[in-house]
Structures are given as structure tokens and as C-alpha cells.
Amino acid sequence: MSTPYLAANESAEPARSWLADAGRGLSAILPPLALLIATLVLWEIAIRLFKVPTFVLPAPSAIVASLIESRAALLVAAKATAIEVLFGFVLAGVVGVAVALVIVRFERFGRALYPLVVLFQTVPKVALAPIFILWFGYDLAPKILLIVVIAFFPVAIDMLAGLQSVEPSFVALMRSVGASKTEILRRVRIPHSLPHLMAGLKVAITFSVIGAIVGEFAGASAGLGYVIQFASTQLDTPLVFAALVVVSVLGLVFYYLVELAERLLVPWAPKFDLMHRS
């Protein structure tokens, strides 16, 4: 039978845990927020003090004014870019995982495929953008394809590292009980590689945003890259910076969505154990 003292302690435990998590989150947010505010204040002072022309470098206040004035157009452009990023990222993740699984499952073919994957990654992706537009036109397809070729590599490499980092003793144990290569891959290697995969996906989502903007630079009629290119031709530098701010926010949103997915799908990852212990 529990005493009132023990019951009060048990009910207070979740509250203390929530407060500790909130304190850790606040302590993580405050330093970068303070640095950002200080940078913006110094930036504003320097622009006003040295009378830098707006078309060369706008003050933060001019960028905010452009954000407010062009908010409708920027929202439409952000939606177009977000769709490209989402589709391209998903396909890049599928291709990256498939490449890693093929390399591990079919060892001889994998030894031949891996150098070709690395070689393909060294090709300048900016040079591929006009070719993709020539082949597929100005619609969604060339942007998505460019995102895939830019973003699949970190997924493949991190997934491959996770698949290959399994303890040999685990593999030997599975083989001793008659498990096939496919069963070892499914039961041991893939679960072990999931934290590595999530790390690769977080890199890939940032590459996906870059790929979308590069694709829009090469040829588009919508999207944040198109807005940046158009505004630069009009010497509307505040709008260029406003679009860059929206791109950065979009990238942060996508990154932390992947971070949230990692917490939900791989809560047993070593990094989360270390965070809870600290």
C-alpha cells in the first residue's frame, strides 16, 4: 500500500523530468539566439554608420520590410520550393538506401558499384542542371532529379557505414544457426544501421534544399531560387536577402522534422542515451 508521501513523489517525477527537459532546451536555444540578435544589431549599426547603399548590402530593417511587403509572393515561392524538396528528399532517401543495401547484399557487384557511385558524386551538379532541363523541361522533374543526385550520396554512405559496422560476432552467431545473408541483413544489419541512416538523412535534407535552389537557378518560373534570381537582376537586394531568409527557415524546418522523426523512430540511438544521462 503506497503512502501519500510516495504517491506525491511519483506524481512529481514527470513534472521534474519535464522541467529538466525544458531547461535543457532553453539552455540550448539561448546562446545561438543571443548571438543572432547581437549580429543583427551590429549589422544594422554598421550599415547606418558607414552609409552602405541598400543595393550593395541592405540593413536587417530593410530585409524585414521586404519580407513584410513581399510576404504573399515569398509564401507562394516557398510552397513551390518545399514541394520540390519534399519529393526530391524522399526519392534521394530511397535511392541511397537501395544503393547501400545492394552493395552489402551482393558483395561482388557492390565492389564494382561503389567506385562508380563515388565517381558520380565528384561530377559538378551545377553542370547537370542545364542538361536535366534540356531533357525534362522546366517542370518539377528536373529539380527533383537534381535533388536526388545531390542528396542520395550521404544517405548511401551513412547507411553503408551502419550496415558494415555490425560486430562480426553477431554475424557469425547468425550464420551458426543457419541464417542466410538476407536474414542477417534484415534481422541484424538493417536495425543496427538505422542511427547511421538518420544521420545521413539529416545531411541529405540540407542538400535537398540546396539542390532545389540550384535547379531553380538553372531554369524555373516559380520557387525561391527564381525569386532570388529575378530580384538580383532588378538590383532588389533586400528581396534577395528576404528570399534567403525564407530558404534558411525552410531548411531549418525540414531539418528538425527529420530530427523529430529520428527521435520517434530510433529512440534507442546512443546519442539519445547520452542526452538523457547528461
| Alpha-helical segments (H) within 125-180 | 125-136, 140-164, 168-176
> Does position 274 have pLDDT exceeding 80, yes or no?
no
- At residue 252, the pLDDT reads 94
Residue 7 pLDDT exceeds 50: no
Cβ atoms 155, 92 nearer than 8 A: yes
Residue 218 has pLDDT above 90, yes or no: no
Q: Is-contact 195 271, C-beta < 8 A? A: yes
Task: Give me the pLDDT at residue 5, please.
Answer: 47
Write down the pLDDT at residue 120.
84
Question: What percentage of the chain reaches a pLDDT higher than 90?
Answer: 53
- Domain co-membership, 152 together with 186: yes
What value does the CA radius of gyration of the chain take, rounded to a whole number of Å?
A: 24
Q: How many residues would you count in the chain?
A: 278
Mean pLDDT over the full length of the chain: 86
- Measure the CA–CA gap between 124 and 173, rounded to whole angstroms: 44
- CATH number, domain with residue 91: 1.10.3720.10
Average pLDDT over residues 164-180: 82
Residue 39, pLDDT above cutoff 50:
yes
Quick one: pLDDT band at residue 25, thresholds 50, 70, 90?
Answer: low
CA distance 31 to 41: 15
Clarify whether residues 43 and 63 are in a common domain: no
Pick the last residue of a domain from 51, 68, 87.
51
pLDDT at 10 over 60: no
State the Cα–Cα distance between residues 277 and 254, nearest whole angstrom. 27
- Quote the pLDDT of residue 8: 47
What tens digit of pLDDT does each residue of 59-79 get? 999 999 999 999 999 999 999
The verdict on 44 and 84 lying in the same domain is: no
Contact 238, 66 (CB under 8 A): yes
Amino acid found at 163 = L
Residue 256 reports pLDDT greater than 80: yes
Nearest to 149 by CA among 175, 173, 172, 120: 120
Domain extent for 115: 59-277
pLDDT of residue 75: 96
If asked whether residues 100 and 233 sit together in one domain, one would say yes
Domain shared by 101 and 149, yes or no: yes
Residue range 6-27: mean pLDDT, rounded: 54
Written as one letter, the residue type at 98 is A
pLDDT of 209 reads: 96
23: pLDDT strictly greater than 80: no
pTM comes to 0.84
Residue 32 pLDDT class (50, 70, 90 cuts): confident
64, 15: one domain: no
pLDDT at 71: 93
8-state DSSP, 223? S
Residue 249 predicted with pLDDT over 90: yes
pLDDT at 270 over 70: no
Per-residue confidence (pLDDT) for residue 6, from 0 to 100: 45
> How far are the Cα atoms of 15, 19, 53, 230 from residue 66, in angstroms, in the given order?
43, 39, 16, 14
Let me know whether 39 and 122 are in one domain: no
**37, 81: one domain:** no
Residues 64 and 188 in one domain: yes
Nearest residue to 149 (alpha-carbon basis) of 184, 119, 174: 119
- Whether residues 12 and 126 share a domain: the answer is no
Q: How far apart are CA 152 and CA 182, in angstroms?
A: 23
Total domains in the chain come to 2
Angle at 77 between CA 96 and CA 146, to 5 degrees: 25
Amino acid symbol at 86: L
Please check whether residues 104 and 219 belong to one and the same domain: yes
6 with 109, same domain?
Answer: no
CA distance 278 to 274: 6
